[in-house]
Amino acid sequence: MPDTLKKVWALFSAAEQRKALWMLLLIILMAMAETAGVLSIMPFLSVLARPAIVHENRWLGEAFKALNFADEASFITVLGLITMAVVIASSAFKTLTFHLVGRFVHMLRRSLAVRLLSTYLRQPYEFFLTRNSSELTKNVLSEVDQLVFELLQPLSMLIAQGVVALAIIVMVFVYDPWMALCIVATVGLLYGAIYVLVRRRLVHIGAARQAADANRFQACSEVLGGIKDVKITHATDAYLQRFSHASRELSRHSATAETLSQSPLYIVEAVGYTGLIAISLVLLWRSGDIAHVLPALGLYGFAAYRLLPAVQIMYRGMARLRFSAAPLNSIHRDLQLIEVDDPAPGGKVVVPRHCIELERISYAYPNSPEKPIFSSFSLTIPANTTVGIAGPSGAGKSTLMDLMLGLQRPQLGVLKVDGAVIDATNVGAWQRAIGYVPQHIYLADATVAENIAFGVARQAIDMGAVERAARAAQIHDMIAGDLAQGYLTPLGERGIRLSGGQRQRIGIARALYRDPPVLFFDEATSALDAQTEEALNEAIRSLSGSKTIIVIAHKESSLRDCRQVVMLGQGRGAAVQAAVRLGDSSLDYPDGAEPIEPSR
């Protein structure tokens, strides 16, 4: 339990921790107001049962005289009205406190989700190679909700009702210590025993619920993301079955947790109310006069009326803490991840004037450390030249590009630009110098212009730069001629309204939008017809000399204009790389590499 509370406390920002302390103070005040409400019943019931007490009791007598009451009946009426006012005021304060605490908890939902997403987004690219994207989506959208509404809210109720219960017990203790001890022992034992019995099961089904939720998200995002393959392979039923099974598990575990959190109420209600009858019989038996018994009975009755739901809510809070331990642990762990990526969009840009170098790099994917993709590999790319990367499928071309892009970091060796090592401190500045066309272009469900000026706010888009980039990417005529709203035409989810070649050219225009000094093309022209490809190669050719261009290509036509081609091949064990130059004798070959003439 202390460990859980420590984790919950660590979820809050400094401002939220301060706010949480204010909430705690409000809760304590609310408990005191609630106790005052319960206590105020006492004098009223006493006077009601025996009006003569007005003159016997010092305080009541003085109040009677000071306020000039004509008779006892009007005194009782005013006392009744005051009692009603205290009870109503205490309930109003309680409502206000619950509203403020509830609002605080709801605000945490936003703050936790934003902080979690921001922590994920500032992880290095490699983080996303090892974590499933639907799991991350589930954590941000579903697990945060589970944590907030199934753990933090019940926890706030647990604290609130804990203070209320404590105040009521202290009040009963002052009036009758033995009675208070009996109540604590009975209710404590009852709930304690039930809690001990169910807590392990709650942790177990909590973890199973989390796994079922992950399955649900994964099935849903896979089937909707790959709908074409799903349709063609008739995998709909298999996915529906997987989703339905996971949803059933989720519902089953949630229902069991709900039952385990709720069921003691009925047992405790039965014990509580039969106890109340037993107390009234004992009191009656002791005093023999119902008028003496009535105030005490009223106090116990009211205390029970407030205490039982309070204890039940406390128990439910404890049960929820157990059931929601899994999301608490995973969100707490993920929020501890160190943010490494430089989020600042502005700042200096690292423009290569002489060369880009990979110096004796070794790299293996974190999830396949036994399979090195590069071992002590070196490569120098002179600035403002066009360099090709070729080799069979799986040879490591895209990985090499990712290393040069600074998306992945080698385990050994360094990436340098003009002799300066690119590390976490300047990788953002290096990436701002780069335009990149990946193998698979991601298009957002937005307009053509927004897709070309990707990541720029709609009102800040430079339409002149958009058109210039589209012309260079050989897509302007199609946008202006075929699309009803030109650059303002929405492209649909993932650019579903475009052909593969059109999508590729939008991707190329995106890379050119900022007119970057370095361009990376990963199979950028693979989906184009010969004529468009030639026009695009011509556009790329016109940029060469003024920009550093690195091209991955299988087609000879795309490599024709390269000043050098790096041929990656697979050798014994680890991949062996060879750099190939075309007429440049100044190029350093990597250790043990052989120059290979690319076929023309």
Ligand X SMILES: Nc1ncnc2c1ncn2[C@@H]1O[C@H](COP(=O)(O)OP(=O)(O)OP(=O)(O)O)[C@@H](O)[C@H]1O
- Angle of the 153-175 helix axis to the 14-39 helix axis, nearest 10: 30
593 in Cβ contact with 579 (< 8 Å): yes
Cβ at position 350, least distance to ligand X in Å: 24
Cβ at position 398, least distance to ligand X in Å: 3
Half-sphere exposure of 432 (CA within 13 A, CB side): 13
Cβ at position 127, least distance to ligand X in Å: 11
3-state helix, strand, coil in the chain (%, to 5): 65, 10, 25
Shorter beta-carbon distance to ligand X: residue 327 or 406: 406
Cα distance between residue 559 and residue 551, in whole Å: 8
Bridge partners, residue 569, by sequence: 576
Cβ at position 352, least distance to ligand X in Å: 23
Cβ at position 169, least distance to ligand X in Å: 59
Cα distance between residue 561 and residue 550, in whole Å: 11
Instruction: Give the burial string for 541-559 (b: 16+ CB within 10 Å, else e).
Output: eebbeebbbbbbbeeeebb
The residue written with tokens 């099974």 in the block is 245
Cβ at position 507, least distance to ligand X in Å: 16
Shorter beta-carbon distance to ligand X: residue 35 or 375: 375
Cβ at position 130, least distance to ligand X in Å: 8
The answer for residues whose C-beta is within 8 angstroms of residue 83's C-beta and 6 or more apart is: 40, 41, 43, 44
Residue 208 CB neighbours (<10 A): 16
Shorter beta-carbon distance to ligand X: residue 393 or 459: 393
Shorter beta-carbon distance to ligand X: residue 393 or 546: 393
Binding site for ligand X (CB under 6 A): 129, 365, 367-368, 373, 391, 393-399
Q: Where do the H-state alpha helices sit in 13-70?
A: 14-39, 41-49, 53-56, 58-66
Shorter beta-carbon distance to ligand X: residue 303 or 528: 528
Shorter beta-carbon distance to ligand X: residue 294 or 575: 575
Q: Which two tokens stand for residue 440?
A: 């698979």
Identify the CA nearest to 324 among candidates 424, 233, 237, 254: 254
Shorter beta-carbon distance to ligand X: residue 317 or 396: 396
**What does residue 3 show for φ and ψ, rounded to 5 degrees?**
-65, -45
Cα distance between residue 448 and residue 589, in whole Å: 43
Cα distance between residue 495 and residue 457, in whole Å: 19
CA angle (280, 281, 284) in 5-degree steps: 85
Decide the pairing of beta strands 420-421 and 434-437: unpaired
Cβ at position 387, least distance to ligand X in Å: 15
Shorter beta-carbon distance to ligand X: residue 191 or 363: 363
Shorter beta-carbon distance to ligand X: residue 368 or 546: 368
Cβ at position 400, least distance to ligand X in Å: 7
Shorter beta-carbon distance to ligand X: residue 545 or 571: 571
Distance separating the N- and C-terminal Cα atoms of the chain: 71
Cβ at position 399, least distance to ligand X in Å: 3
Q: Which two tokens stand for residue 198?
A: 């169910």
